[in-house]
Amino acid sequence: MSITGMAVPRASKNRPPREHYFWSRLGRKATPYLFLSPFLAGFLVFLVYPLIYAFNLSLYRKKLIGGITFVGLSNYIKAFQDTNFWEGVRNVLVFGAMQIPIMLGLALLFATLIDSGVIRRVTIFRLGYFLPFAVPNVVAALIWGYFYGQSFGPIAQLANLLHLQPPIFLTSKGIIPSIANISVWQYTGYNMLIIYAAMKAIPTELYEAAKVDGANEWQIAWNIRIPLVMPAILLTFIFSIIGTLQLFNEPNVLNAVAPTAMNSHFTPNLYVYQLAFANKQFDYSAAISFTLALVTAVVSSLVLFVIFRREANQ
């Protein structure tokens, strides 16, 4: 029944007998809720309530004449027919299709190389690969924005030195791969370490048994190591998809350096920001942001449900 599948059996029945006063029993029952209450209160006020508020707001429309009127779901119908919104959705999907396979493929390859012992001095790689994760999104976008740049970017400088045509990254064609590269740079090491940690949890006996059977290192990696860390890979995959849908920081920062490469509805979040912040169309932006949050929550709950169902069945 548990949707978490993580309930841990615990021998709590052999507690010493206690005086069964009404208040003490009530206290006992209330204790876990007391421990939970700060979190639950915050959860309700800062996660649930803003969504309800946004949903409520999205059911109205403010007009210049006639004030605020209830319009039902018409803001959602408007969003559904809004080509700006769908263009943003299409952009993040293209971005994700490009970035996620490269990032997770590399992360899996590196984790396998380290865990199988092909690479031995691992500390420098572990630290060096992870370091970009410690850089704020915004700073990563700033660094790469300059790095790509024509005036003092080292790539253009190098190309000029070799008398080559410097590649132009920040154009409307090049912008999606350019942002994808920033995300690959930031998160490959992070995902590598998550997958590597899962690999370290595999009992060594499995490898030894396979070796006795004459399996080589690649067969072991392909047939034992990678299948066994599939849940961790799936986890990183879900995180990546959700992160992709929410893309905002990098395009917003790069927009300043390359204003012609992107429009103000380049990603759904950029569009929502534009609507709420610049256009003050609060009701319509509430409708789109509510849809985005809802889709994200539903997708992640569904995936969780599927994962834990599968795990429970195994």
Partner 1 sequence: MTAQTLAPVRKARPIRRPGSVFGYTLMGVFLAYFLIPLIWLFIASTKTNAGLFASFGLWFDKHINVIQNLKDLFARDGGAFGLWMRNTAVYAINAALGSSIISALAGYAFAQYHFKGRNLLFGIVLASVFVPGTAFAVPLYLLESKTGLSNSLLAVILPALVNPFGVYLMRIYTEQAVSQDLIDAARVDGAGELRIFATIVFRLIAPGFVTVFLFAFVGAWNNYFLPLLVLSKMNLYPVTVGLAYWNGLASLPGNAQVLYILVITGSVVAILPLMIVFLFLQRYWQAGLSLGSIRG
The helix (H) or strand (E) run that includes residue 234 is helix 230-245
| CB 305 to partner 1: min, Å | 9
Pairing of strands 67-70, 60-63: antiparallel
Nearer to partner 1, 183 or 289 (CB): 289
- Indicate the residue among 94 and 102 with the shorter CB distance to partner 1: 102
Q: How far apart are CB 90 and partner 1 at their closest, in Å?
A: 19
Measured from the CB atom, the residue of 94 and 109 that comes closer to partner 1 is 109
Give the residue among 299, 311, 275 at the shortest CA–CA distance from 62: 275
- Cα-Cα-Cα-Cα dihedral of 45, 50, 52, 56, to 10°? 140
Cβ nearer to partner 1, comparing 80 with 146: 146
Alpha-carbon distance of 226 to 195, in angstroms, equals 9
Q: What is the DSSP letter of 132?
A: G
The Cα 247–Cα 265 span in angstroms is 12
**97 vs 131, beta carbon nearer partner 1:** 131
What is the smallest separation between the CB atom of 217 and partner 1, expressed in angstroms? 6
| List of residues 6+ apart from 189 with CB closer than 8 A | 107, 126, 128, 129, 130, 131, 132, 133
Buried b / exposed e over 82-107, threshold 16 CB at 10 Å, is bebbeebeebbeebbebbbeebbebb
Closer to partner 1 by Cβ: residue 77 or 118: 118
Least separation in angstroms between CB 74 and partner 1: 18
Where do we find the tokens 């060594």?
Answer: 204
Place of tokens 């690479």: 119
In the chain, count H helices and then E strands.
15, 2
Closer to partner 1 at the Cβ: 74 or 246?
A: 246
Helix (H) or strand (E) holding 36: helix 22-43
Least Cβ distance, residue 80 to partner 1 (angstroms): 18
